[in-house]
Amino acid sequence: MMKFFKKIKNSIEFLQNKVERGVDWLYYSMPAAMRVIVVLLMCVSMGIASMIITINAIYRMGKNDAKKELFEMEHIKNLPLKNDTVSNRTYQKLEELWK
């Protein structure tokens, strides 16, 4: 079983190193001005995406509130209790309580 987990761990580390090398190559191959532009574009796009998601969620909440109907609560009139588990006196008290 430990061999299986070691294989998974090694696979994850290999993939992590490969991605890290790719990002490093991409980062260091860009000029400084291009890096700033990329960071700003990422910030703006993620900001716009978060605003869209928030506005969409607010819209859906308002839309669902308009569809809701008011529910009326009904009290339970008689509980179907077995006489062998509850004494008659307790059953009568429960009936008085629910009236």
Residue 64 belongs to some domain of the structure: yes
Residue 49 belongs to some domain of the structure: yes
Residue 1 belongs to some domain of the structure: no
| pLDDT digit string, tens, across residues 14-46 | 999 999 999 899 888 999 999 999 999 999 999
Residue 69 belongs to some domain of the structure: yes
The number of folded domains in the chain is 1
Residue 6 belongs to some domain of the structure: no
* pTM of this prediction exceeds 0.85: no
Residue 9 belongs to some domain of the structure: no
Residue 71 belongs to some domain of the structure: yes
| pLDDT digit string, tens, across residues 65-76 | 656 655 666 777
Residue 17 belongs to some domain of the structure: no
Distance CA 70, CA 11 (A): 55
The answer to whether residues 98 and 75 touch, using CB atoms and an 8 Å cutoff, is: yes
Domain extent, residue 58, equals 24-98
